[in-house]
Amino acid sequence: MLKGLAITPPVLGRISIGRVVERNGKRLPEKDDQFTLTSQVQNREGWVLHPLDEELRQASDGNKLRSIPVRLLFDDPTLNLRADYSLFNRENGRPLCVGNGDTCRRAGPEGMETLPCPGADACKFASGSCKAYARLNVVIGDREGDAMGSFVLRTTSYNTIRTLAARLHYLSAVSGGRLSCLPLELKLRGKSTTMSYRSAIYYVDLVVRSGLTLEQAVAEAVERHATRAAAGIDQAALDEAARQGFANGAFERTWTKTCRPWSRSSIHQARVKLCRYQLTEVSRTDWKRKHPDWRRKGSSTCSDLCQVRIGDSSGPDRTSDGARRSGSKK
């Protein structure tokens, strides 16, 4: 597998709630009050419509597509909806910096760097160009022809991201982690806010499919889960494969990663760049002076520097001599 290449779900088309219009020779985005299903092909008029768009419109009232029957690919909510703070290169559309409000991965002259992430509003590097950006992958309807092919909804709307994240975690909880088996529906909702100057804005919600109660949907999910398991479908293995594919990307981060171990043979200076702290050269002597009880406590936490545990496998002095020395004084 090529390192740096994120392995994402196969995409058959796009789901959007806006369109591109031409004004004064410029192509500008414009909000819409309905869904649009497109293929991945563009022409001079814009995105080419997917055949499913017309099919679903004929089945909807008023010929406006405001709900789409869907199923999810994965049981893990974070695999279905991936949200980050993202800064893109306006020339080629490639990401420059991707973070979660705690740490970020940034493309620099010397390669990828892991740095603190203050969030979109406080980021001086982005100068206001960083936005919350999310991608939701769904399977439309109950078609079994291409069970792995998905449609992707890309959004920078805080209302959509917050609503979808809440719904996914709630539905996962009530269904016992059977998200991939629930009959669901994407629904377009409207609201007015102060930031929209009281004009209507639209966001995407995820609900139980029309005509079903929550109890009926969960019962159907339990039955479908048993049927799929009996047929030999390993949903847990699919989730793990997707998790490894996403983690292969250059901008993916491992939040539980700890500092490299310190030993007596390690260099005197340690460069620490973790979590919300960006420190330059921090000497080991200064670190010990700041924490005089580091030898007496077999397991203490350094929250000021790098949040590593001392006296275990992720702490300093893990050589045999250092391990003996760490317990010599009490």
What pLDDT, in 10s, does the model give residues 60-71? 877 889 999 999
Asked if residue 259 is part of any domain, the answer here is: no
> By three-state DSSP, how is residue 256 classified?
coil
Range of the domain at 112: 11-247
Asked if residue 252 is part of any domain, the answer here is: no
Are 199 and 286 found together in one domain? no
What confidence tier does 272 reach under pLDDT thresholds 50, 70, 90? very low
Only one residue has tokens 């639209």, namely: 202
User: Does residue 318 have a pLDDT over 60?
Assistant: no
User: Does residue 262 have a pLDDT over 50?
Assistant: no
Asked if residue 1 is part of any domain, the answer here is: no
Are 127 and 177 found together in one domain? yes
Mean pLDDT computed over every residue of the chain: 79
Only one residue has tokens 């690919």, namely: 73
Both tokens of residue 286?
Answer: 């200064």
User: Does residue 98 have a pLDDT over 50?
Assistant: yes
Q: Residue 141 has what pLDDT?
A: 87
Asked if residue 254 is part of any domain, the answer here is: no
- H, E, C per residue of 270-320: EEEEECCEEEEEEEHHHHHHHCCCCCCCCCEECCCCCCCEECCCCCECCCH
Q: Residue 258 has what pLDDT?
A: 32
| 8 A C-beta contact, residue 155 and residue 82 | no
Regarding beta strands 103-108 and 111-116, do their DSSP bridges make them parallel or antiparallel, or are they unpaired? Answer: antiparallel
Asked if residue 31 is part of any domain, the answer here is: yes
The residue that leads in pLDDT, 304 or 252, is 252
| Amino acid found at 210 | S
Q: Residue 193 has what pLDDT?
A: 84
Are 23 and 160 found together in one domain? yes
Number of neighbouring beta carbons within 10 Å of residue 130: 25
Q: What are phi and psi of 52, to 5 degrees?
A: -65, -25
Are 132 and 205 found together in one domain? yes
Are 292 and 168 found together in one domain? no
User: Does residue 314 have a pLDDT over 60?
Assistant: no
Segments of 209-247 assigned E as strands: none
Are 235 and 286 found together in one domain? no
User: pLDDT tens digits, residue range 212-253?
Assistant: 999 999 999 999 999 999 999 999 999 999 999 999 888 875
Are 238 and 293 found together in one domain? no
Are 169 and 293 found together in one domain? no
Domain total in the chain: 2
Cα separation, 194 vs 214, in Å, equals 33
CA 132 to centroid of chain Cα atoms:
10
User: Does residue 149 have a pLDDT over 70?
Assistant: yes
- Region 10-29: mean pLDDT is 83
Q: Residue 317 has what pLDDT?
A: 41
User: Does residue 297 have a pLDDT over 50?
Assistant: no
Are 130 and 226 found together in one domain? yes
Query: What is the H or E stretch that residue 88 is in?
Result: strand 81-88
User: Does residue 48 have a pLDDT over 80?
Assistant: yes
Residues 6+ apart with CB under 8 A from 71: 138, 139, 141, 142, 180, 181, 182, 183, 184
Are 41 and 143 found together in one domain? yes
pTM: 0.73
Quick one: angle between helices 235-247 and 214-230, nearest 10? Answer: 90
Are 243 and 307 found together in one domain? no
User: pLDDT tens digits, residue range 184-196?
Assistant: 999 999 999 888 7
DSSP-derived secondary structure letter, 124: T
The residue that leads in pLDDT, 77 or 19, is 77
- Region 4-21: mean pLDDT is 88
Asked if residue 253 is part of any domain, the answer here is: no
Regarding beta strands 131-140 and 111-116, do their DSSP bridges make them parallel or antiparallel, or are they unpaired? Answer: unpaired
Both tokens of residue 132?
Answer: 């919350």
Are 190 and 289 found together in one domain? no
| 8 A C-beta contact, residue 263 and residue 317 | yes
Give me Rg for the CA atoms of the chain: 25
Asked if residue 173 is part of any domain, the answer here is: yes
Regarding beta strands 150-155 and 11-23, do their DSSP bridges make them parallel or antiparallel, or are they unpaired? Answer: parallel
Asked if residue 264 is part of any domain, the answer here is: no
Segments of 89-183 assigned E as strands: 95-99, 103-108, 111-116, 131-140, 150-155
User: Does residue 112 have a pLDDT over 50?
Assistant: yes
User: Does residue 161 have a pLDDT over 90?
Assistant: yes
